[in-house]
Amino acid sequence: MKKLLVTGGAGFIGSEFVRQGVKKGYKIIVVDKLSYAGDLERLKEVKKEITFYRTDVTDKDSLKHIFKTERPDTVVHFAAESHVDRSILDASPFLDTNVKGTQILLDIARKYGIERFINISTDEVYGEIKGKGRFYETTPLNPNSPYSVSKAAADMLGRACHRTYGIPVITIRPSNNYGPWQYPEKLIPVVILRALNNEKVPVYGKGKNIREWVFVSDCADAIFKILEKGKIGEIYNIGSGEEKRNIDVVKTVLKLLGKSEDLIEFTKDRLGHDFRYSLNSNKISKQIGWKRKIHFTEGIQKTVKWYVDNMKWAKSKKTGLG
C-alpha cells in the first residue's frame, strides 16, 4: 500500500482525507504546523495509525528530514492559509505558506522522486461568473482576492514544475466545502454558532452571492479517486452541481435550528467580493467515475447536528471573523 505524506492533515479537509485514508489502509504521514485552524482533535480517532510531524511547509530543513526518513510515495498538499477575509487584512502569511511553501515542497518532491504530487487548489482561482455558465478546467485563471491569487500562484507553480522538471503533479480545484470540523470563521459554522447563542448573523451585502457547495467527505472521496485513477499533469474540478445563494444557506441553517430570520444582519460587502462560482465537473465524472453522494439537504442537516453535538469544540475555536 502506498505511503502518503499529507500536508495540512490536521485541517478541515485534510483531516477528513486522513481519516478516510486510514480506513482505506494507506500508510499516512501528516505534516501540519497546527496554526489557529489546525487541530489534532480532528485526528484523535486515527492518531495511533498515523505518523505526525508538527512542521511548517516553509521549513525546508525539517521537510527534507521528513522526506529522507519516511520516503513517501505520494504528496497530497492541502496546507494553506485559506480565509479570504484574513488575506484582505494581511496577505503576507498567504504568500509565505501558499506560494513559498508549495515551491519548497515541489523542490523536495523532485529530489526524492515522488510518484504523485496532488496539488489542492480551489475554484476561486477562476475568478467569478456574473451571469450563466460554469468554470471548466481550461478556463483561464482570474483570481480576485489576495487568497485566490496566492492559490493561483501555487496552482501554476505545480503545473510549471510538471512541465519543466517532470514532477508528477495533478491539480485539483474543489468548490466550497462544508461539514463537521470546519473552523468557525467560514459561513456555515459562523451562522450555526451565532444562531445558537441568539447573536446576530452577519451576511455580506444582501446575501445574493452564489457558491457551489460540496460535502467534505465527498470531496475527500473524489481526491482519493483522482489519486488512484487520475492522469499526471491533468486538472480536475470537484463540484456538486448544487449552487446556493448565501442568504438561502443562512435561512436554511436558521430553519434547522428553529431560529428566527430576524437574527440576520446585513453588513457592508466584502472588498472585491466574487459574485458566483460554478464548476463543470464532467471530467472527473466521465474519466474517473466520481459523483457526489451527499445532497446539500442531507449534508447541511448532518453539519448542523454535528455542531450542536460538538459545541464545546466549536466554541473553543470561535473567532470574530465571519
Instruction: Please state, in angstroms and rounded to a whole number, the distance separating the CA atoms of residues 35 and 261.
Output: 34
307 is a catalytic site residue: no
Q: Check 16, 81, 124, 155 and give the catalytic one.
A: 124
pLDDT value, residue 320:
45
Instruction: Please state, in angstroms and rounded to a whole number, the distance separating the CA atoms of residues 17 and 5.
Output: 11
183 is a catalytic site residue: no
pLDDT value, residue 262:
97
Q: Which CATH class is domain 3-177+215-238?
A: alpha beta
Instruction: Please state, in angstroms and rounded to a whole number, the distance separating the CA atoms of residues 81 and 157.
Output: 17
In the predicted model, is pLDDT for residue 77 greater than 80? Answer: yes
Phi and psi torsions of 292, nearest 5°:
-65, 145
Mean pLDDT of the region 169-184: 97
- Domain residue spans in the chain? 3-177+215-238
pLDDT band at 2 (very low <50, low <70, confident <90, very high): confident
For residue 245, the surrounding DSSP H or E stretch is strand 243-245
Q: Check 147, 183, 236, 277 and give the catalytic one.
A: 147
Q: What is the DSSP string of 198-215?
A: T--EEEETTS--EEEEEE
What is the 8-class DSSP label of residue 139? S
Q: Where are the beta strands (DSSP E) in 91-174?
A: 116-120, 169-174
Instruction: Please state, in angstroms and rounded to a whole number, the distance separating the CA atoms of residues 157 and 105.
Output: 11
Which amino acid, residue 157?
L
Helix or strand or coil: residue 66? helix
- For the chain, percent of residues with pLDDT exceeding 90: 94
CB 171 within 8 A of CB 122: no
Mean pLDDT of the region 209-234: 98
Quote the cell numbers at residue 201. Answer: 448573523
pLDDT band at 318 (very low <50, low <70, confident <90, very high): low
In the predicted model, is pLDDT for residue 50 greater than 60? Answer: yes
Mean pLDDT of the region 279-300: 97
Q: Check 32, 56, 123, 185 and give the catalytic one.
A: 123
Instruction: Please state, in angstroms and rounded to a whole number, the distance separating the CA atoms of residues 77 and 57.
Output: 10
The pTM of this model reads 0.96
277 is a catalytic site residue: no
